[in-house]
Structure formats: structure tokens, C-alpha cells
Amino acid sequence: MNMSEPSRFSTTGLRGEMRQAEFMQRHTSWRAGGVAARMYKPADLADLQVFLRSVSSDESLLAIGLGSNLLVRDGGFRGTVLMLHAALTELKLQDDGLIYVQAGVPGAKLARFTARHDMQGAEFFAGIPGTLGGMLAMNAGCYGSETWQHVVKVQVLTRSGELVERDPTEYETGYRSVELQSKWKVESGKLEDSDSPLPTHHFLEEFFVGAWLSFQPGDGKVAIENIKALLAKRIASQPLNLPNAGSVFRNPPGDHAARLIEQCGLKGMRIGGAQVSEKHANFIVNTGGATAADIESLIDEVRGTVAKQTGVQLHPEVKIVGEAA
Ligand SMILES: Cc1cc2nc3c(=O)[nH]c(=O)nc-3n(C[C@H](O)[C@H](O)[C@H](O)COP(=O)(O)OP(=O)(O)OC[C@H]3O[C@@H](n4cnc5c(N)ncnc54)[C@H](O)[C@@H]3O)c2cc1C
């Protein structure tokens, strides 16, 4: 795919920025992967609605936040990536005590905001380096807390640009999984994980643009101390000095993926520039110049070895999209 300069679409009423041939390694925490044919950076929610109304109905779309749970294969994504984090940034405490937060707001900002407003329960968001949109899509969580425990209502945008509010009862939520109970899967269309054959088409039906969250009143100073303790724990246990995407595999019921991977002697295993972290066995780090194929091959190798040696099938938590080179 050819690179070209960013172009603006003001003539069609759009206020955001359309980029061609965007390197997705700039937008994913693994710092690896292929090129997106197009990337749209909306100016705001209204602009995103205009974009969706104007985009052709057969265009593949992929909503992303900070790319902290995402691998784009080296052959790239033949569609438009919707980059939400710079546009959907509203965060406010309402009179009814609920927090309205748009999809682009990072977890760390949400955690600090709630602490400043003397609430507790949002501290866990501080250690998750994604946006609210990504956390809603993944039901992200840690240390016993999950995103959807705090959701009162979500706001989604449909493919045709319609803004819809949905109740949590409309979703089936579980450990790192969220599905709309009716006809659509809330996985940015047909995002597949590594269990699936090569994905070729991504038909985004709807995606999250915001949510109303509730937290317990509490002592903000205690919340700040909790955040500090939680971040220190992460620095001590995770390889944060090298590009990674957090935990690669979901924990199997009653066990830990990291424990199984370590037990199989896979810590430190390498393929190209990708390596199973020596510090945390459920992390794969990019030691420099890793391709998406290096990372995906290592994921497959780890799964295969763990299945063979322990009989446990690990399932990737990270989302893998696009086409092989
Ligand atoms: C160092 C590190 C530590 C981590 N620790 C944790 C942890 O403790 N717990 C945890 O759960 N995760 C953790 N993660 C993984 C990751 O941060 C979370 O999954 C996070 O929720 C991803 O958010 P994001 O905005 O980066 O999403 P992205 O990576 O951009 O996208 C992830 C998926 O969500 C979809 N998506 C993104 N935005 C939207 C939207 N608005 N609407 C619909 N779909 C959307 C994407 O299409 C993709 O399928 C960690 C990652 C790193 C790098």
C-alpha cells in the first residue's frame, strides 16, 4: 500500500482527518504490525456520525482506542480504522452522581477523576493502559474488578451513524468477553482471535462511544494511595520497559495462564523479535523489530506446547486482525 499525506475532507462536511496507509505499529502498544489502508480521526462525536453516514456500506471498519490489546497482521488492514481516543474525550460528574465518560478517555484519567471526586472503586482502571471504549469491548479488569460492574448505561453508535443508549442487561458479559444479546456481536464486527482462520472482512455494526458509570462514595485520598500501590505492584511484576499488550491469554478456569506457560519452560522463548517475557510468562514482549508474524507464531507455539504438555487449551485475550503478509 502506498503512503500519502493526510488529507482533510472538509468539502464533504467532515472536520476530522483521513489518513492513507497508516502504519499501525504507531498505534499499537506492541509497536509491531502492518498498515491500515485508511485511518479516520474524527473531530468529535458529531463528526464521527457524519463520517459513518458518508462511508460506503461495504467498507471494513475497525474502532480502536490505544491499541493496547491489538495486533494488526503484517499484510495490513484493508479498511478504515476509526481512531477514537483523541476525539471522544468528555468526562464529567453529573448531578445524579453518575460519571459520563466517552470512549476515548484513558483508564488512568478516569481513575484519577473519580478519586478527585471522592469516589472509590475505579482505582483498578489506573493500571490498564487502554481507553474506556476498549475496556467496554474487552470487559477489562484486574485485582477482582471489571469494567461492566460499574456500567449503568452505554452509548453506542451504529454503522449508519445513529446514537443509541443500551442497558447492560442487553449484553452478556463475562471474563474478558462482551456480547450483545440480540443480533450483533460487540466485537467491532467480526473481529476474530487466534482461534479463527485468517480474518478477511470486518463489518462493524456498532461500537461504544460512551458510558454512564457508577462508583461508591469514598475517601479520595485513600483512592489515590490505592492507585499508587496498584501501579507499584504492576511495575514490580510486569515487563513494562518493552512493548507488549498485557496478558496475551485469558486465564483458564481456576488456573493462571502464566503459571502454565512457566511450567512448560517457555519463559524466554523467542521467535524473531518476539519473546515470552522472563518477568511475566503471560506477556510477549517486542525485543526490537518483531513482526506481527513473529508475535502470532509465538502465540501459536505457546498454545500448542501448553496444550500438549498440560492438556489445557489457552485462548488469546489479545485481538488479532488484518491479513498475513
Ligand atoms: C502493560 C499492559 C497491561 C495491561 N493490563 C491489563 C489488565 O490488567 N486488565 C485488562 O483487562 N487488560 C489489560 N491490558 C490490555 C488492554 O489495556 C485492555 O484490553 C484495554 O481495555 C484495551 O483498550 P484499548 O483502548 O487500548 O483498546 P484497543 O487495543 O485499541 O482495542 C481492543 C479491542 O477493543 C475494540 N475496541 C476499541 N475501542 C472500541 C470501541 N469504542 N467500541 C467497540 N470496540 C472497541 C477494538 O476493536 C479491539 O477489538 C493491558 C495491556 C498492557 C499493554
pTM: 0.93
pLDDT-wise least confident of 125-139, 174-188, 222-236, 292-306: 174-188
CATH of domain 239-321: 3.90.78.10
| DSSP for residue 131 | B
Residue of 30, 60, 64, 166 best suited for mutating to test ligand 1, as the one with most atoms within 8 Å of CB: 64
Strand partners, 245: none
As a whole number of angstroms, the distance between CA 299 and CA 284 comes to 8
Q: What is the mean pLDDT of the chain?
A: 91
CB-based contact 189:206 (threshold 8 Å): no
Residue of 45, 138, 203 best suited for mutating to test ligand 1, as the one with most atoms within 8 Å of CB: 138
Comma-separated ranges of CATH 3.90.78.10 domains in the chain = 239-321
> What is the residue with the minimal CA distance to atom 6 of ligand 1?
128
pLDDT score recorded for residue 203 = 54
Contacts of 171 (CB under 8 A, 6+ apart): 148, 178, 179, 180, 181, 186
pLDDT digits (tens, 9 = 90+) for 54-77: 998 889 999 999 999 999 999 999
| DSSP for residue 249 | B
As a whole number of angstroms, the distance between CA 295 and CA 301 comes to 10
250 C-alpha vs ligand 1 centroid, how far in Å? 13
> What is the residue with the minimal CA distance to atom 10 of ligand 1?
140
What is the number of the ligand 1 atom nearest to the C-alpha of 29?
53
Comma-separated ranges of CATH 3.30.43.10 domains in the chain = 7-83
Catalytic residues, by residue number, are 176, 247, 317
What is the number of the ligand 1 atom nearest to the C-alpha of 321?
49
As a whole number of angstroms, the distance between CA 178 and CA 187 comes to 8
Q: Which fold has domain 91-223?
A: 3.30.465
219 C-alpha vs ligand 1 centroid, how far in Å? 28
As a whole number of angstroms, the distance between CA 142 and CA 317 comes to 13
12 C-alpha vs ligand 1 centroid, how far in Å? 32
Q: Residue 207: which H helix or E strand, with range?
A: strand 206-213
CB-based contact 88:105 (threshold 8 Å): yes
Measured at the CA of 319, the angle between CA 71 and CA 2, to 5 degrees, comes to: 35
| DSSP H stretches of helix in the chain | 45-54, 107-116, 132-138, 220-237, 257-263, 292-310
245 C-alpha vs ligand 1 centroid, how far in Å? 8
pLDDT digits (tens, 9 = 90+) for 107-164: 999 999 999 999 999 999 999 999 999 999 999 999 999 999 999 999 999 999 999 9
pLDDT digits (tens, 9 = 90+) for 20-29: 999 999 999 9
Comma-separated ranges of CATH 3.30.465.10 domains in the chain = 91-223
| DSSP for residue 106 | B
pLDDT digits (tens, 9 = 90+) for 194-216: 444 333 334 578 999 999 999 99
What is the number of the ligand 1 atom nearest to the C-alpha of 142?
8
Residue of 68, 256, 279 best suited for mutating to test ligand 1, as the one with most atoms within 8 Å of CB: 68
As a whole number of angstroms, the distance between CA 323 and CA 246 comes to 22
> Could you count the other beta carbons within 10 Å of the beta carbon of residue 218?
18
> What is the residue with the minimal CA distance to atom 11 of ligand 1?
140
Q: Which residue has the cell 458479559?
A: 173
Q: Using CB atoms within 10 A of its CB, is residue 231 exposed (0-12), middle (13-18) or buried (19+)?
A: middle
pLDDT score recorded for residue 182 = 64
- Residues in contact with ligand 1 by the CB-under-6-Å rule are 29, 62-70, 84, 103, 127-131, 133-135, 137-138, 140-142, 188, 191, 207-208, 238, 240, 244-246, 319
Reported in sequence order, the residue ranges of 2-134 that DSSP labels E, i.e. its strands, are 7-8, 17-23, 35-41, 61-64, 70-72, 77-83, 91-93, 99-102, 119-120
What is the number of the ligand 1 atom nearest to the C-alpha of 319?
49
Contacts of 5 (CB under 8 A, 6+ apart): none
Residue 259, classed as helix, strand or coil, is helix
Whether domain 7-83 has CATH 3.40.50.620: no
Measured at the CA of 187, the angle between CA 128 and CA 166, to 5 degrees, comes to: 90
